[in-house]
């Protein structure tokens, strides 16, 4: 893996890493954490923090507080953050929504986007904290935000946190995907959509029992690449070549001609596949999430980004 830090920092990092490895090795604590690797435990701790904000539906005070915290984390990691604010026309009236776009310039102005949603579905009859559904995607992006600035990369990276992925009442073409539909419209009118070479969407990637089916609506070459990377890493058990189509934030991008893939862990909970019995219930809690699942998806996404950065098939 190519590192981006000056040699002085690398030397220091290596000395610290070596000392920690020796300490860990001698004490029998196993290998020290690689600072350039995706740390599922740290991502899991971000989920715990997000859940502490409580239910986070679009337009809520809790989501505004969550957003402020996310922006602080991204800025600490060295990203420039843009707020894409808009008013969504929903079945319960106009709601203020805000997508967050964190940017990290590369050698090229062409963009690789990694995205997820940070809102949780609005439920009135029970308390829904969305540890996996809404929490895992935001936490995943925050962990990536800590790693990517340390790596050499050809493309500009955008980490996008979508607001209003969830239906306010019942999922329809107009009551869902508010943030992604808005961003596609804005980038189209700004003439910037064509800069995006690939979009990788993550959703529900922390469930204890991780299974990612091949999404039939995703772009074929990206599916092929990501599932090939998962094979290479020995993760065939988790990335299954069983085509399943799910409406999610990648669809407005695919429809607008952007190459995009959805990595969504549908089998969340013991029964009722393909969605799992914890999905959209009070059972979507940290107890049903696992750092190991986040690590698996994190490794696959990081290795995919590495492949994309070295792909001769993408424009410079």
Using CB under 5 A, list all residues that contact Zn ion: 121, 133
- Alpha-carbon distance of 299 to 256, in angstroms, equals 28
| Binding at 175: pick from ligand 1BN, Zn ion, none (beta carbon under 5-8 Å per type) | none
Please identify, using beta-carbon distances, which residue of 42 and 56 lies nearer to ligand 1BN: 56
**Cβ atoms 38, 144 nearer than 8 A:** yes
| Binding at 249: pick from Zn ion, ligand 1BN, none (beta carbon under 5-8 Å per type) | none
Residues 99-138: x where in contact with ligand 1BN by CB under 6 A, - otherwise, as a string: ----------------------------------x-----
Among 215, 248, 267, 284, binds ligand 1BN (CB under 6 A): 248
Please identify, using beta-carbon distances, which residue of 193 and 263 lies nearer to ligand 1BN: 263
Q: How many residues bind ligand 1BN (CB under 6 A)?
A: 8
Phi, psi of 158 (to 5 degrees): -120, 125
Please identify, using beta-carbon distances, which residue of 143 and 284 lies nearer to Zn ion: 284
Classify residue 30 as left (phi > 0), alpha (psi -120 to 50) or beta.
left
- Quick one: how far is CA 74 from the chain centroid? 13
Q: Listing from the earlier edge strand, what are the strands of the sheet with 196-203?
A: 80-90, 93-104, 156-162, 111-117, 196-203, 260-264
- Alpha-carbon distance of 206 to 290, in angstroms, equals 6
**Following CA atoms 134, 136, 142, 144 in sequence, which dihedral angle do they give, to the nearest 10 degrees?**
-130
Please identify, using beta-carbon distances, which residue of 71 and 115 lies nearer to ligand 1BN: 115
Among residues 307, 293, 302, which one has the least CA distance to residue 238?
293
Q: Which residue is nearest to ligand 1BN (CB)?
A: 247
Q: Which residue is nearest to Zn ion (CB)?
A: 133
Reduced to 3 states (helix: H, G, I; strand: E, B; else coil), residue 80 is strand
Reduced to 3 states (helix: H, G, I; strand: E, B; else coil), residue 143 is helix
Q: Give the containing element (helix H, strand E) for 285.
A: none
Residues 267-286: x where in contact with ligand 1BN by CB under 6 A, - otherwise, as a string: --------------------
Please identify, using beta-carbon distances, which residue of 121 and 146 lies nearer to ligand 1BN: 121
Judged by CB under 6 A, the stretch of 148-156, 182-190, 214-222, 242-250 that binds ligand 1BN is: 242-250
Query: What are the C-alpha distances in Å from 193 to residues 97, 159, 165?
Result: 21, 15, 20
**Cβ atoms 211, 266 nearer than 8 A:** yes
Least distance to ligand 1BN, CB of residue 83, Å = 23
Instruction: Please tell me whether residue 171 binds ligand 1BN under the rule CB under 6 A.
Output: yes
Please identify, using beta-carbon distances, which residue of 84 and 217 lies nearer to ligand 1BN: 217
Judged by CB under 6 A, the stretch of 27-35, 104-112, 243-251, 282-290 that binds ligand 1BN is: 243-251
Instruction: Please tell me whether residue 246 binds ligand 1BN under the rule CB under 6 A.
Output: yes
Quick one: tokens of 172? 């329809």
Least distance to Zn ion, CB of residue 44, Å = 19
Contact residues toward ligand 1BN (CB under 6 A) are: 133, 166, 171, 203-204, 246-248
């Amino acid at each position: 893996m190519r590192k981006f830090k000056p040699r002085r920092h690398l030397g220091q990092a290596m000395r610290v890493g070596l000392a920690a490895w020796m300490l860990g090795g001698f004490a029998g604590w196993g290998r020290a954490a690689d600072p350039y690797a995706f740390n599922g435990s740290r991502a899991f701790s971000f989920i715990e923090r997000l859940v502490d904000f409580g239910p986070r539906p679009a337009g809520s005070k809790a989501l505004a507080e969550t957003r402020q915290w996310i922006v602080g984390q991204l800025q600490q990691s060295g990203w420039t953050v843009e707020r894409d604010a808009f008013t969504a026309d929903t079945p319960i009236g106009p709601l203020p929504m805000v997508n967050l776009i964190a940017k990290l310039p590369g050698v090229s102005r062409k963009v690789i986007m990694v995205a997820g949603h940070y809102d949780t579905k609005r439920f009135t009859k029970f308390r829904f904290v969305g540890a996996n559904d809404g929490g895992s995607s935001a936490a995943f992006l925050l962990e990536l935000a800590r790693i990517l600035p340390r790596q050499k990369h050809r493309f500009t990276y955008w980490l996008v946190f979508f607001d209003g992925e969830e239906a306010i009442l019942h999922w329809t073409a107009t009551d869902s995907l508010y943030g992604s539909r808005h961003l596609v419209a804005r980038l189209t009118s700004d003439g910037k959509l064509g800069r995006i070479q690939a979009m990788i969407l993550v959703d529900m990637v922390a469930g204890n029992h991780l299974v990612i089916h091949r999404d039939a609506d995703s772009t074929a070459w990206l599916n092929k690449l990501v599932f090939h990377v998962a094979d290479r890493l020995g993760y065939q058990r988790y990335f299954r070549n069983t085509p399943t189509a799910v409406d999610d934030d990648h669809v407005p991008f695919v429809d607008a001609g952007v190459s995009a893939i959805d990595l969504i862990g549908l089998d969340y909970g013991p029964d009722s596949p393909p969605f799992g019995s914890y999905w959209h219930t009070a059972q979507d809690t940290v107890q049903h999430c696992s750092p190991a699942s986040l690590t698996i998806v994190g490794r696959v996404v990081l290795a995919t980004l590495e492949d994309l950065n070295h792909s001769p098939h993408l424009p410079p």
